[in-house]
Amino acid sequence: YYIRKAETTNTLLLVGPSTISSTRANDAENENENYSGNANKTVDEQSPELSGARKRPRHTDVHVVDAAVTHIYELTLTRPHIHKIKQILSETALTLERCCHSGSAETNEGFDGDADSESDQDVEMDSDMDEYVQIKNSDTVRKGHKRKHKGSGNQCQKFGYTIDELELLIQASEAEITEGLENLNAFEHNGRYVLLDQQLHDETFDMMLTIITAKALPFQRVSEKEIIAGMDMDEDKVPDFVVKQIFRMHSDNTKTEHTLADSFWCLNAQSISRFRAKQILKKSRKTPPGLIPVHEFNLQWKSLLPKGVNANESDLIGSAIKVKRLGKEEYSCFLADELPVDDPKACFDLVFAAKKQWKPDELDPYINHLLGPDQTKTDLLKKYTRTCRSVDNPTEKILCAR
């Protein structure tokens, strides 16, 4: 929920019990005694205190105002803060160095150190679950547990988070967090959810596809053992569990065959096509002006795809925008997954900086992540865009920055 502070039209006073009513009986008794002792005296001859008391009202209840309410808090249903999962898990994303932290691939099944042998060693925890540190964007993240093994100078840091830990850090239900983890391709390892570092993912999947293309393997049935064996030739050995996770990320798991001896993965053709396209686009933006001619891009794209995988322009949605320069059509790398996820204004500023005019449906992949119960597409377009007419086609509606 989003909490909003709103002023009230009237001020509400909060008061406690009367401070005089509890002593009313004692005051009345004392006053009767004063009257009997001064029966033969006039009021003026009586004591000034009594005279004043007779002239002023007595025994009036007095209420003390303890507080005044001038505002209220309103709760508005908003989209769950799932976007924070990526930020939190990225802090300890698995790099090749972290994967190979403890030596061989077999040992690396527990990349967080000797987790399985904890009970046999004296372990000191120098941080608890209730300790947090503030990081950028004012998000609160739990300190990583550092384990100090007595008698050893080495320290092993635990990577990733459990569901319980994420629930303490993110305003979302367990089901929403679990769904968010699946969408991010986070995976559970040693009881903790982790993300693969983007560079590790890209380099590993590139090697896997290179082996598939070089050996002319059918992408619909790729032997896991054959790929791992081919990657053993590499100097920096990638742990087997990383290869398996990348297979899961880019395969149709319903068509995958698992046997006791091997697993045969059915890779998703669109996933392969998009990955290769992003590779070329990312490389092109390193060279000014960051554009690549359409025909040159298509040639490179097709040459990198395994047999049977087609290059479709629809696979570029959310990755590239087509621009005209010097009478030629060129692609510019513009990735939707690099846009701000919690700042609509910043997102639209970047969108219109990349391209001044958009068709309504072209914007969808770049703003869908901003939508939620409290924010519809119509609301966003009204606030951050205005309708214009295309110069090339006056009847066509296009969107410009407001």
pLDDT, average across residues 104-116: 40
Tell me whether strands 222-223 and 257-258 are parallel, antiparallel or unpaired.
Answer: unpaired
With a pLDDT cut of 90, the percent of the chain lying above it is: 45
Return all residues near 149 (Cβ < 8 A) that are at least 6 apart: 114, 121, 122, 123, 156
Least reliable range by pLDDT among 23-27, 204-208, 383-387 = 23-27
- Asked if pLDDT for residue 381 goes beyond 70, the answer is yes
**pLDDT confidence bin for 262, thresholds 50/70/90:** very high
Joined tokens for residue 140: 């609160």
Domain-embedded: residue 306: no
The answer on 188 and 101 residing in a single domain is: yes
Domain-embedded: residue 274: no
- Asked if pLDDT for residue 206 goes beyond 50, the answer is yes
Domain-embedded: residue 168: yes
Which H or E element spans position 28?
helix 24-37
- Asked if pLDDT for residue 42 goes beyond 50, the answer is yes
pLDDT, average across residues 275-295: 93
CA distances from 363 to 321, 392, 401 (A): 11, 19, 12
Domain-embedded: residue 301: no
- Asked if pLDDT for residue 31 goes beyond 80, the answer is no
Which pLDDT score, from 0 to 100, does residue 187 have?
93
Domain C-terminal end among 143, 168, 195: 195
Return all residues near 324 (Cβ < 8 A) that are at least 6 apart: 330
Least reliable range by pLDDT among 46-55, 156-165, 200-209, 299-308 = 46-55
The answer on 356 and 376 residing in a single domain is: yes
Identify whether the C-beta of residue 99 lies closer than 8 Å to the C-beta of residue 242.
Answer: yes
Which pLDDT score, from 0 to 100, does residue 373 have?
76
Which pLDDT score, from 0 to 100, does residue 35 have?
52
- Asked if pLDDT for residue 252 goes beyond 60, the answer is yes
Which pLDDT score, from 0 to 100, does residue 191 have?
86
Torsion 196-202-203-207 (CA) sign? positive
Which pLDDT score, from 0 to 100, does residue 212 have?
95
The answer on 226 and 140 residing in a single domain is: no
The string of DSSP codes covering 356-372 is: S-B-HHHHHHHHGGG-B
Integer Cα distance of 293 and 330 in angstroms: 4
Instruction: Tell me how crowded residue 127 is: count the other CB atoms within 10 A of its CB.
Output: 13
Integer Cα distance of 355 and 332 in angstroms: 10
The answer on 153 and 119 residing in a single domain is: yes
Identify whether the C-beta of residue 127 lies closer than 8 Å to the C-beta of residue 143.
Answer: yes
- Asked if pLDDT for residue 134 goes beyond 60, the answer is no
- The three-point CA angle 305-309-310 to 5° equals 95
Provide the domain limits for residue 257. Answer: 199-267
- The owner of tokens 């005279």 is 51
Which pLDDT score, from 0 to 100, does residue 138 have?
36
Domain-embedded: residue 289: no
Count of H-run helices and E-run strands, the chain:
14, 17
Domains contained in the chain, number:
4
Joined tokens for residue 315: 């696979």
The SS3 assignment for 336 reads: helix
Identify whether the C-beta of residue 61 lies closer than 8 Å to the C-beta of residue 20.
Answer: yes
Integer Cα distance of 314 and 299 in angstroms: 16
The answer on 146 and 130 residing in a single domain is: yes
Closest CA to 204 of 229, 256, 239, 160: 239
Identify whether the C-beta of residue 11 lies closer than 8 Å to the C-beta of residue 70.
Answer: yes
Which pLDDT score, from 0 to 100, does residue 45 have?
53
